[in-house]
Structure formats: structure tokens, C-alpha cells
């Protein structure tokens, strides 16, 4: 839906105000007996459902409406999320390809191909396919069928769908996005009693560029935007959760004007929120898990094995029976890498563990399981509100964004994990220049770039994790060069796509039981240092002075550090299921690693000791961690909807709540040239995020 779609906020306020007034009047009862009588009275009527604000990206994702509200374009989106993994042109496992489905005489089952038989197969599934009758409604099924019949069906990884929200292509040139980080429009957020509310995310969306600027109300309820470009905006509350949505379109901003007070009305007077889809879509993965029943072991299994390829919303918006969940778990835990093209045996879990996991998921997200009333996590307070979050639309949808890098001009680069384009953003106006990576030379290889890095000379490096190549790009000439990477894995299985460069432009990694230095021009191995404990690392980092190489040893529990000066190799253990992954060195040579088990992990280079810092949000994990010039460490909490800033001196986290419930940060870029330091990352679901703290 277009970003200027109005939200009927005013009618909602008029409709629900009598309920709020009644609640306020009831609260005036002064005696214990009156309060007790109120408790014993019949339950109040159920609150009305909140309006749907499709400027909340999470709701678009929840309902498969990023591309369109209905029709074949929406059907393509449903196909990508529900069909592509098993039915794409490269996938192993026996699922039939769906291109030209309605030109065939029969299905694999022998039934004739027609609307009735295809719908029946989708709804009822098969021995190896989950039944979607509790997942897709009639409108979903109609749109999916319209796409399966479309001549463009089914999916083209070389040319992803265009993003209807993106407006950067026509954005006028500017020197900077903001005139200053303070001094822009300002206002007050309050509740129905007139009391200020802290930690509310107030957002402006530019009608001209679609760039989103989010600020936070302070303890006194007041907020202040940066000096934005004058023009027309949508003013809204991002992720209102316990409040009814608020949105005003066509708000004219001229400078530092005071905006009319924003009064927010609660959906319910109490703490527990009804499980409306509009509220469920706003929950972070952490909030989903804290609200669902289950043992610590069951929830830990999900966080360990399902936290790094997608957000938990992808799981919990569905309902399958136990057989359906078992089919999905098998594909997810046996598939190689996020495309799941190649099937590996054994999988990550034993057969008994898979069955136990499926039983739990069927009990909490089965056809008959009931949604609980939701408890949400606290809003930001104090220092957590002293930040500006800027979000940029990108030209295409479903990019599976992965890495972020920056060049000397402070343009921001991003990689797409399962498609052929990489992009360069101009932060001043939101314009994105796409660079089409030529299709891999390997037959039947899925395109996609994992690692992306801009070296000091301005050359861009990328790794093709599925095709097994390293490419370089000259942005001025747009010339791509490739080096075929010799690895043991078959094409379309991950080759270990994270690398680092030394000061001579050579590539470092840990793979196949050795730390290797590889020629960046021809792929020739130049050095090899045998490891004793950990055969590989997921992370690959070079220290600022190029003395140390290091990486987290996920899926093992440990880190590998190599001292290029002394030749010493350190292989340090970490706690069970800590899963150190990607990370970076700080200015003192300490290696910081993202713990997929829910911690930030430090290898102290002086005393050769590991320290682990539990994350502040339950059921979350990290994919990467980056240190800035001041020694602070930054990381996105996967499935926490928060971005973390860790001060090693105080050993304290500052958690910045994001406007969307996701924080799928695979690799960020620290801009040390700003004051204060700021951070960029591309969210896996397809937008670029700039985090600018005010202190």
C-alpha cells in the first residue's frame, strides 16, 4: 500500500473514548469495597480491533502485503515465502517445479491440473508438504493461485520485484539529509489523562523521498526532530503496541514548528493486550517467545537453531499440525544455508530432537492452539530515548539483505543474499544505485552476495556464498572481476562467506582446519596455519593494525585468534551453545564476537581470556559485533527489535528500540567520522537503517 494511505485515527479516537472515560471514572472509586465490587462486576466488552496502519512494515510482512494489497503481485510474495524454498528450479528433495504448472495435464499425484486440484494440494499438503489450510485464508489462496497462473510465475533471483515505496530514484540532489540533529519540529505525546508518555517513537515519513525519521519522547513526553527538509510528511507513531494507531498524512513541515499534541488511547486499560493480528505483527521475536508456553529447553532449541536466517515472526504467524511442523523442521535443519537447496544428512538435530521440537510447535502454533493475551516489554527510557533512527527504502523487495559497508564518501553499500544486485545508497537523498553482479559461471548456481567490503582504495569486494566466488567491483568503471573459490562444499551450499583483508589486499579465513592467507588476485593460497581444536570460523576479522586475525568458531563454541607477528595461535573455548560468530577487533586488539547463544563475547588480547556478557533482552542473539573508535561495541539483537551499544568500561548495555520489531543485522558499518559515532546496517527484510545517538 502507498505510504500516504490514511489511517482512520480520528474516528478510532471518537469511537473508543467512551470506553476510556468509563475506565477513568471507575478509577476514581476511593474505597476498597468499591474497588472490590468493580473487580467482581462482569467483564467489560472486548475492545475494538486497532486500525491497520500499513506504514508499519511489520504488518505488511505479517499479511504478505509489501508488494500489493491483492492480486498476482501479492501472490508472488506468498509464493516466495511459502513455496519457493522447496519448489525453486534448483532445490533438491523431489518437490516439483511450478513454472508452467497449468500447462501440464496432471499433477505428480496423477490428478488433473485445475483450480480445484491445485487448491486441494495446497490446503491439504502431502507426506512431504505441510498443509496450508490453517495458514492461508481464502484471499491468500486466491492471490497465490493468480500468481501460479501468471505467465511470469514463479521467481527470478536475477531480477527481484520492485519496491513500490521506493522514491529515491527521483529524489533531488542534496548535500545532507538533516541540517542538524536537533532544532527541527517538536511536540508532546500524552495519554487520555493528559499525562506525558516516555519512550514513544514519533516518526516522519517524507512524501518526497519515503525516508523515515524516528525520534523518541523523553520523560516529559516531549520529542524533537532533526532539522528535516521542508515539505509534506506523514506523522505517525511507530510500533504503538498497547495504544491505538496514530497517523496524520500531508503534514506540512516548514522548520522548527510545534506540532499539535499527540494523544494516545490505550487498547485496554490493563497490562495484557488482546491478540489482535495488528498487535501480534508488532511483537519482537523475544516478545513472542516470552508470551508462548513452553519449557526453557524448548525455547532455547528455537533460539539456537532458528535465530539467524529469519525473524521468529516467520514462524509464529503460522499454524500447522504436528506433521506439517515436522516437514518444515526437517527442511530447515537439513537444508544447506538459508536457500535450503541442498539437503544434508544428518541434520542439525537428531530425529528424536526434531520430533520433540515439532510437538512443541504444534502445541503452541497448531490448528487448535489459542493465542494468549500479550505482555510486551518496557518502552525505552532515559538514555535509550536519546537517538535518531533513519530508515531508507531500497529499490527491490525480498532482497534478503546481508552485509553493509561504507566508502570514503560515506556512501553506504549493501549486499543481497539471494539475488544478483548490490547497491550504493546516497544518505543525503535516499538515491540508490544498483550494480548488477553478472550471473555466476557455475551451472545452476544461485546468485547472491554475502560479504561486502569497501577497501581503502574504493574497490568493493564481495563473496558469492552459493556459487563459490570472490568478486571485486570498480564503482567508477562498473567493471566486475571474479576469482573462483576452491572449496569442498557443493555449489549452492555455503562456502563460508565471511572474509577479511590485510593491508596488502589478501584474504584471510579459517576453513578446513587451517587459518589461511589467500591471494586476492588469483585465489592462490599463500599461508596456512593448522588449527588444533576448531576446523573453521564463521567470523573473519583483521585487527586495526593488521597484526591479529580472528573469528568466532560457530557452530562450535570458541574463538580463534592468530598473532601474525609472533606466529602464536589461540583457540579459546566459550560456554555451551554460546556460538561465537562474526565480530571485529577494537583499537586495543581485543576481539569481540557475536554470541548466537545470547551473549557478547570478548577475547582479551592481553590476558588471553574470554569474557561473556549476557544480552539484556531474553531469547535474543547476535550475528555480528563491531567496535567503534572509542572502544564501544555495537550489535543488533536478532529477534529483539533493539540495537545494542556496549561500554566495556562500565560493562553496561544501552538498548535502542527500533521502529520495527526486527533487528536482523548481519554485518554493520561503523561511521567513525560522525560525532557521536553512528552505525548503519541493512535489515534482512530489506531497508537500510542509520542509528545516530545524541550522546
What are 407-448's pLDDT values in tens digits? Answer: 999 999 999 999 999 999 999 999 999 999 999 999 999 999
- The domain tally of the chain equals 3
Q: Are residues 543 and 567 in the same domain?
A: yes
Q: Are residues 87 and 222 in the same domain?
A: no
The CA distance from 219 to 188, in Å, is 11
Q: Are residues 29 and 71 in the same domain?
A: no
Domain stop point among 162, 190, 208: 162
Least confident of 85-89, 217-221, 600-604: 85-89
Average pLDDT value for the chain: 92
In this prediction, residue 195 carries a pLDDT of: 98
Contacts of 114 (CB under 8 A, 6+ apart): none
Q: What is the mean pLDDT of residues 187-199?
A: 98
Q: Are residues 72 and 105 in the same domain?
A: yes
Least confident of 29-38, 61-70, 132-141, 478-487: 29-38
In this prediction, residue 45 carries a pLDDT of: 74
Q: What is the mean pLDDT of residues 10-23?
A: 34
Percent with pLDDT over 90 in the chain:
90
In this prediction, residue 16 carries a pLDDT of: 34
Furthest-apart CA atoms within the chain: distance in Å: 83
The CA distance from 605 to 617, in Å, is 28
In this prediction, residue 466 carries a pLDDT of: 96
Q: Are residues 142 and 207 in the same domain?
A: no
> Domain with 170 in it: what CATH number?
2.60.40.1120
Q: Is residue 410, in this structure, part of any structural domain at all? A: no
In this prediction, residue 136 carries a pLDDT of: 98
Q: Are residues 591 and 642 in the same domain?
A: yes
In this prediction, residue 44 carries a pLDDT of: 62
**Residues 299 and 597 sit within 8 Å (Cβ to Cβ):** no
CB-hemisphere CA count at 13 Å for 48?
17
Q: Is residue 456, in this structure, part of any structural domain at all? A: no
In this prediction, residue 483 carries a pLDDT of: 94
Please write the tens of the pLDDT for every residue from 363-402.
Answer: 999 999 999 999 999 999 999 999 999 999 999 999 999 9
Domain containing residue 149: 67-162
Q: Are residues 28 and 140 in the same domain?
A: no
B/e letters for 476-501, b = 16+ CB within 10 Å, e = fewer, are eeeeeebbebeeebebbbbbbbbbbb
Q: Are residues 46 and 172 in the same domain?
A: yes
Please write the tens of the pLDDT for every residue from 199-234.
Answer: 999 999 999 999 999 999 999 999 999 999 999 999
The CA distance from 541 to 519, in Å, is 16
Strands 186-191 and 262-264: parallel
Residues shown for the chain: 695
Q: Is residue 415, in this structure, part of any structural domain at all? A: no
CB-hemisphere CA count at 13 Å for 543?
20
**Element holding 605 (H helix, E strand):** none
Q: Is residue 41, in this structure, part of any structural domain at all? A: yes
Strands 642-647 and 633-637: antiparallel
Higher pLDDT, 508 or 32: 508
Domain stop point among 162, 193, 225: 162
In this prediction, residue 92 carries a pLDDT of: 84
**Residues 357 and 632 sit within 8 Å (Cβ to Cβ):** no
Please write the tens of the pLDDT for every residue from 344-369.
Answer: 999 999 999 999 999 999 999 999 99
Higher pLDDT, 132 or 12: 132
**Residues 307 and 618 sit within 8 Å (Cβ to Cβ):** no
Q: What is the mean pLDDT of residues 322-330?
A: 97
In this prediction, residue 643 carries a pLDDT of: 98
Is pLDDT above 50 for 20?
A: no
Q: What is the mean pLDDT of residues 174-178?
A: 97
**Residues 375 and 271 sit within 8 Å (Cβ to Cβ):** yes
> Domain with 548 in it: what CATH number?
2.130.10.10
Q: Are residues 77 and 35 in the same domain?
A: no
In this prediction, residue 524 carries a pLDDT of: 94
Phi-psi region of 72 (alpha: psi -120 to 50; beta: other; left: phi over 0): alpha
Q: Is residue 76, in this structure, part of any structural domain at all? A: yes
Q: What is the mean pLDDT of residues 314-327?
A: 96
Is pLDDT above 60 for 635?
A: yes
Is pLDDT above 60 for 6?
A: no
Domain stop point among 162, 194, 226: 162
The CA distance from 571 to 562, in Å, is 9
Is pLDDT above 70 for 585?
A: yes
In this prediction, residue 570 carries a pLDDT of: 98
Q: What share of the chain is helix, strand, coil (3-state, %, to 5)?
A: 20, 30, 55
Is pLDDT above 90 for 132?
A: yes
The CA distance from 312 to 192, in Å, is 33
In this prediction, residue 30 carries a pLDDT of: 33
Q: Are residues 131 and 146 in the same domain?
A: yes
Q: Is residue 45, in this structure, part of any structural domain at all? A: yes
Residue 98 vs residues 90, 335, 445: alpha-carbon distances, Å: 12, 20, 19
Q: Are residues 242 and 107 in the same domain?
A: no
Is pLDDT above 60 for 112?
A: yes
Least confident of 36-45, 490-499, 604-613, 680-689: 36-45
Q: Is 651 exposed, middle or buried (0-12, 13-18, 19+ CB in 10 A)?
A: exposed
Model confidence at 309, pLDDT cuts 50, 70, 90, reads: confident
**Element holding 551 (H helix, E strand):** strand 548-552
In this prediction, residue 307 carries a pLDDT of: 86
Q: Is residue 515, in this structure, part of any structural domain at all? A: yes
Is pLDDT above 90 for 9?
A: no
Percent with pLDDT over 70 in the chain:
94
Q: Are residues 99 and 130 in the same domain?
A: yes
Using alpha carbons, select from 150, 312, 224 the residue that is nearest to residue 663.
Answer: 312
Q: What pTM value is reported for the model? A: 0.93
Please write the tens of the pLDDT for every residue from 91-105.
Answer: 887 799 999 999 999
Q: Is residue 435, in this structure, part of any structural domain at all? A: no
The CA distance from 247 to 328, in Å, is 38
Amino acid at each position: 500500500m502507498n505510504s500516504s494511505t490514511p489511517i482512520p485515527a480520528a474516528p478510532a479516537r471518537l469511537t473508543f473514548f467512551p470506553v476510556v472515560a468509563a475506565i477513568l471514572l471507575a478509577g476514581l472509586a476511593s474505597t476498597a469495597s468499591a474497588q472490590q465490587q468493580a473487580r467482581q462486576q462482569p467483564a467489560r466488552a472486548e475492545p475494538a480491533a486497532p486500525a491497520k496502519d500499513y506504514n508499519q512494515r511489520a504488518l505488511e510482512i505479517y499479511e504478505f502485503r509489501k508488494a500489493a494489497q491483492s492480486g498476482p503481485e501479492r501472490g508472488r510474495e506468498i509464493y516466495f515465502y511459502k513455496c519457493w524454498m522447496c519448489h525453486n528450479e534448483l532445490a533438491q528433495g523431489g518437490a516439483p517445479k511450478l513454472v508452467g504448472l497449468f500447462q501440464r495435464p496432471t499433477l505428480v499425484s496423477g490428478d488433473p491440473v485445475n483450480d480445484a486440484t491445485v487448491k486441494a494440494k495446497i490446503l491439504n499438503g502431502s507426506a512431504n508438504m505441510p498443509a496450508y489450510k490453517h495458514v492461508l485464508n481464502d484471499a491468500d489462496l486466491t492471490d497465490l493461485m493468480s500468481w501460479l497462473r501468471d505467465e511470469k510465475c514463479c521467481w527470478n533471483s536475477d531480477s527481484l520485484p520492485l519496491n513500490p515505496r521506493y522514491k529515491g530514484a527521483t529524489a533531488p540532489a542534496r548535500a545532507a539529509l538533516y541540517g542538524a540533529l536537533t532544532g527541527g519540529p517538536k511536540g508532546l505525546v500524552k495519554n487520555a489523562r493528559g499525562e506525558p508518555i516516555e519512550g514513544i517513537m514519533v516518526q516522519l515519513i517524507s512524501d518526497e523521498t519515503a525516508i523515515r525519521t524516528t525520534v523518541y519522547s523523553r520523560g516529559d513526553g516531549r520529542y524533537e526532530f532533526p532539522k528535516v527538509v521542508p515539505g509534506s510528511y506523514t506523522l505517525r507513531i511507530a510500533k504503538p503496541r498497547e495504544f491505538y494507531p496514530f497517523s496524520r498524512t500531508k503534514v506540512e513541515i516548514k522548520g522548527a514548528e510545534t506540532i499539535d499534541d499527540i494523544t494516545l488511547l490505550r487498547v485496554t486499560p490493563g497490562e495484557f493486550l488482546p491478540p489482535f493480528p495488528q498487535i501480534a505483527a508488532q511483537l519482537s521475536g523475544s516478545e513472542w517467545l516470552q508470551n508462548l508456553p513452553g519449557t526453557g529447553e524448548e525455547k532455547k532449541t528455537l533460539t539456537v537453531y532458528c535465530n539467524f536466517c529469519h525473524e521468529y515472526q516467520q514462524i509464529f504467524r503460522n499454524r500447522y499440525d504436528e506433521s506439517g511442523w515436522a516437514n518444515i523442521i526437517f527442511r530447515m535443519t537439513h537444508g544447506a544455508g538459508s536457500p535450503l537447496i541442498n539437503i544434508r544428512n544428518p541434520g542439525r538435530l537428531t530425529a528424536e530432537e526434531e520430533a520433540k521440537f515439532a510437538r512443541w510447535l504444534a502445541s503452541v502454533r497448531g490448528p487448535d492452539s489459542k493465542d494468549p493475551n500479550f505482555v510486551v516489554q518496557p518502552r525505552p527510557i532515559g538514555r535509550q530515548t536519546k537517538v535518531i533512527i533513519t530508515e531508507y527504502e531500497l529499490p527491490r523487495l525480498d532482497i534478503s539483505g546481508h552485509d553493509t559497508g561504507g566508502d570514503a564518501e560515506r556512501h553506504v553499500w549493501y549486499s543481497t543474499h539471494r539475488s544478483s544486485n548490490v547497491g550504493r545508497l546516497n544518505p543525503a537523498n535516499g538515491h540508490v544505485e544498483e550494480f548488477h553482479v553478472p550471473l555466476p559461471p557455475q551451472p545452476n548456481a544461485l546468485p547472491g552476495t554475502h560479504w561486502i567490503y569497501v577497501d581503502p582504495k574504493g574497490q568493493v569486494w564481495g563473496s558469492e556464498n552459493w556459487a563459490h566466488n570472490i568478486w571485486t567491483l570498480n564503482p567508477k568503471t562498473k567493471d566486475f572481476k571474479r576469482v573462483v573459490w576452491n572449496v569442498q562444499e557443493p555449489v549452492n551450499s555455503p562456502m563460508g562467506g565471511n572474509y577479511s583483508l590485510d593491508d596488502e589486499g589478501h584474504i584471510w579465513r579459517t576453513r578446513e582446519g587451517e587459518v589461511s592467507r589467500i591471494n586476492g588476485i588469483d585465489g592462490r593460497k599463500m599461508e596456512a596455519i593448522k588449527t588444533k581444536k576448531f576446523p573453521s570460523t564463521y567470523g573473519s576479522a583483521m585487527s586495526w593494525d593488521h597484526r591479529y586475525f580472528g573469528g568466532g568458531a560457530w557452530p562450535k563454541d570458541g574463538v580463534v585468534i592468530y598473532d601474525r607477528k609472533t606466529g602464536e595461535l589461540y583457540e579459546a573455548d566459550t560456554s555451551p551453545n554460546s556460538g561465537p560468530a562474526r565480530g571485529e577487533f577494537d583499537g586495543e586488539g581485543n576481539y569481540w564476537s557475536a554470541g548466537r547463544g545470547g551473549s557478547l563475547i570478548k577475547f582479551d588480547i592481553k590476558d588471553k581470556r574470554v569474557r561473556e556478557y549476557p544480552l539484556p533482552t531474553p531469547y535474543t542473539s547476535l550475528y555480528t559485533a563491531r567496535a567503534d573508535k572509542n572502544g564501544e561495541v555495537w550489535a543488533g539483537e536478532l529477534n529483539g527489535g533493539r540495537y545494542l551499544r556496549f561500554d566495556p568500561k562500565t560493562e553496561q548495555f544501552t538498548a535502542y528500540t527500533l521502529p520495527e520489531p526486527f533487528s536482523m543485522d548481519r554485518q554493520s558499518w561503523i561511521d567513525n567520522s560522525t560525532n557521536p559515532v553512528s552505525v548503519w546496517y541493512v535489515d534482512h527484510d530489506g531497508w537500510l537503517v542509520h542509528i545516530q545517538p545524541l550522546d
